[in-house]
Structure 1
Amino acid sequence: MHELNRRSFLKAAGTAGAQTLFGAKVHALTAMSEPEKPVAANDHIQFALIGAGIQGQGDTKTAVQVPGVKLVAVADCYDGRLEHSKELWGSDIFTTRNYAEILARKDIDAVIIATPDHWHKQAAVDAMKAGKDVYCEKPMIHLYTDGPEMIETARATKRIIQIGSQRVSSMIYAKAKELLASGAIGQLNMVTARWDRNSSMGAWNYTVPLDASTETCDWPRFLGTAPKIPFNAEHFFQWRKWKAYGSGVAGDLFVHLFSGTHFITGSNGPTRAMATGGLRFWKDGRDVPDVMLGLFDYREGFNLSLRVNFVDGGEESEGLIFTGSDGTMEIAGNSVSVGRVPRPKEPGYVIGTYTEAMQKRILEEYRQKYPLDHPAGEPQVAYDKYVAPAGYSDSYDHFKNFFAAVRSRQPVVEDAVFGYRAAGAALLGNLSMERDAIVKWDPDAMKLA
């Protein structure tokens, strides 16, 4: 358990001391502690899990750590996961293949939806109409038509819905947002983000259980709106490899990078997108790329470059670099760092080719146009790094924020509008590859242009 998170509500505010190393300053981000208030017995939130695969089980293991919440039911199309849910959370857990049985129960306040992507919209809409609050895994949508219906259902039913991109609750990303707004790197002009993997499991080759069959798996229910084909265990347990059920690397990983970028910059999303890539290595029957590159234009005046590589023979890595006119900011793991290169005191070397009078005039104009940040006093620190406390979990904070909103009925940190804008932007990459063309997006109206 994340004991640090259980005791305090972590926020990206302030630092506790700074250690100087080789001209750099390393700051420890601190928690603004708020004593955990006891939760009354009649104020407990009872929730259910819909979709108990890898992500669903991981989500639930984190969610149950939040004080005052209890898992009471699980729905999944594979019997083995239902049995394992009882092993994990108790034999009294109600289990079913049909999530409608969960939604009919009056003792359930909220649901976690961690189904394959093509079920997100219907499960979320059904849950909200049944009076349940919803935590829906990313990407929020599988098709562009999913977004407006989910947003409208949340508005009409007055239900809480939070999308599961946990970086929106991260103290590291909150610090990055603060740094960018403070002008720490000047005017932003470029964001470069990557998420590379080098393992077979990282490429969605999840283990298929030995008892997989039409008796242990509810194949028709799993298919839902997908094309009707004979039972295929790989499709069932490795569904991300096929666009009928998933959204490829764009929906699985690009969407995290978009969520983080939009949160930090305050942007609603890109206006144009172009993408390329293909199946470079995992030619195992899947129909989505294992390498994807994307370029995106933002009207705020910066470009975003994204990369996912499932064929990376090096170290698995994830990170974002924000490049500005006066420095760079990098997010890597549970840290954010800012680097600066001092602005030259003089214009380019060609000044020496002019007369002394002309050189003097050029130098004066240059210094007026590009004043030094610190003309007097100590020089600006060239490198700052902000590090989260050991054991910090943004996933925990994301669930804590969700359950707090369920109690208070106040807005969540990542609502359906934010989630749709992030997923809509991510899926532009798929659309660009399908059309072999640049695609345009209206980030305000949330429509293809």
Structure 2
Amino acid sequence: MGAAIPTAANRLPVIGHGVQLARRRTEFLASLTEVGEIVEIDMVGMPAYVLTDPDLIWRVLVSESHNYLRGRMFDKMTEVLGNGLATISGKAHRDTRRILQPTFHKQQIAAYAPIMSSTAADVAESWRAGQAIEVDDAMNDLTARVVNGILFASDLGAAAADAIQRRLPVVMRGMLTRTLIPGAWQRLPLPANTQYRKAIEQMDSAIDTAIAAYRSSGADHSDMLTTLLSLKDETGKPMSDQWIHDQVITVAVGGIETTSAALSWCLHYVGTRPDVEKELHTELDTVLGDRPVELMDVMALKFLGRVVQEVLRLHAVAVFMRRTIGPTQLGPYELPAGAEIIVSPYTMHHNAHWFPEPARFDPDRWLRPETQNLPKGAFIPFSAGHSKCIADNFAVLEITLALAEICRRWRLRPVPGQAVREITTGATRPNRLAMRPEARGRATV
């Protein structure tokens, strides 16, 4: 018999821990660290097991990953992502990742750098000193323009780019709630449900139209959709339109939602921490002078890199899930077949054992030996193993270049009286981040 698995407190009849998951899911999940290294919760009538120990997480994601499939969260995500790389398991996942790998090779990602930096420059140039902007909306716009510029360089993809940019926020607001709180309410004709389904339909239709137009033109538009259309399976046959559709929407979701959230948080901390701002501006002035940021500058922007890494820790993705294929031994614990497992990067990154003063934004924690030698599974902003985000280097590069380009031009100051709080969609993002840009001159170095 395996070791006993504790159950989270305050479980209610029928709805289980649904209230905590709906109203304060990140705080609730982070609190389970004090309960045990694996904790059972009730997701409105469905048991799930939350892992809070890095070794158990590493076993599930990497060393014993063959015992698991993607879980309920990814079942729900197929409503949006279809059979894209982010939702499939096993051989299908391995085959798709192998086919897509060249698209995200380091050299290919490097070729995207000019689009990233020039788009950030365009967004920053549109601001006016003293005129308040909603930074979270602006960063969503920036990342959407980058992703769409890389996916669709041709006007043939303009409608798809517009649909993704406009409809994706609606989709992301509904996706996580549908995952964590099952129920018949999802089928009711409520405004939120209607908007969610309509947004998916509009994105799907626009992407399908773009794929058909690209195939019909037969031209090389030097973009990612052209590359996807040129890919072939193991038999040498072109990939189907549906396969390409699913990868396009997966790239859009992965490249916009979490990246825009991370960029927003970076600007929040730089704008509210004078010590962070001073060190970052000094580094930017030393490395860049008066010129725009380039790919070659990334390695020299060491403090900026730590700012990004600390944001990825502090505001990580709330959850992703796995499911046991059969009865499974996970360390000393026995899990039944079909057990739903929750891995929460947010919870791991707020564990005081691995990250002292976990709620404190501290870029220099990444210089300390104890943080540089974390156990496997303790820091997983992009997951790990075969399921690690294929575009992790893409995301970090985009955040780095955009943050450098914006901060070399502006100081951003929070608008008084506007409280910023963390909300959870696909990412953990600021609910509303109103700031005023102030032009800055280059410091003397």
Shorter chain as denominator, the TM-score bin is under 0.3
TM-score scaled to structure 2, two decimals?
0.25
- Compare the two structures and name the one with the higher helix fraction: 2
- Compare the two structures and name the one with the higher strand fraction: 1
Q: With CA pairs under 8 Å and 6+ residues apart, which has the higher RCO, 1 or 2? A: 2
TM-score scaled to structure 1, two decimals?
0.25
The structure with the largest alpha-carbon Rg is: 1
